[in-house]
Homo-oligomer: A and B are copies of this chain.
């Protein structure tokens, strides 16, 4: 599927998705974003497109990127954005269902960490993001 850019161009859509992850706290302040190549796989986009998306966030002061290092979420949302969507973040441990067990290649019932953030705009729920990962083994 080459290039259907209905409405918004891809790089802007990707930028918005990353923005949500940062503003919702899913990518906490100071944390490293996945590498450009990783994001390229994730979003099924070319690296150039990812770089364009990150450039948008950098322009907005949401991230900084260091040569040879990576791109960080900014420590503090400097500007007071009044329209900042409200957010809930909670982390909990769950048992993997068959679906997740398959993806992670673990046993059904094995523990997984799930981080859920809810993005609200006014009274309306805009998006719910759930991030599953394996528990840290190194404590």
Contact = CB atoms under 8 A, between A and B. Distances in A.
A130 B42 CA distance: 12
Chain A binding surface SS class: strand
Nearest to A126: B133
Given A125-B103, A127-B133, A128-B131, A120 B41 contact: yes
Interface string A82-126: 000001100000000000100111000000000001111100111
Q: List the number of copies, as a whole number.
A: 2
Given A38-B119, A118-B103, A44 B127 contact: no
Interface residues of A, number: 29
A57 interface: no
A19 to B, nearest CB: 13
A44 B87 CA distance: 9
Interface in A22-70: 34, 38, 41-44
Given A17-B131, A130-B132, 9 more contacts: A41-B119, A42-B117, A43-B117, A105-B125, A125-B134, A126-B133, A128-B133, A129-B131, A130-B131
Interface of A: 17, 34, 38, 41-44, 87-88, 100, 103-105, 117-121, 124-134
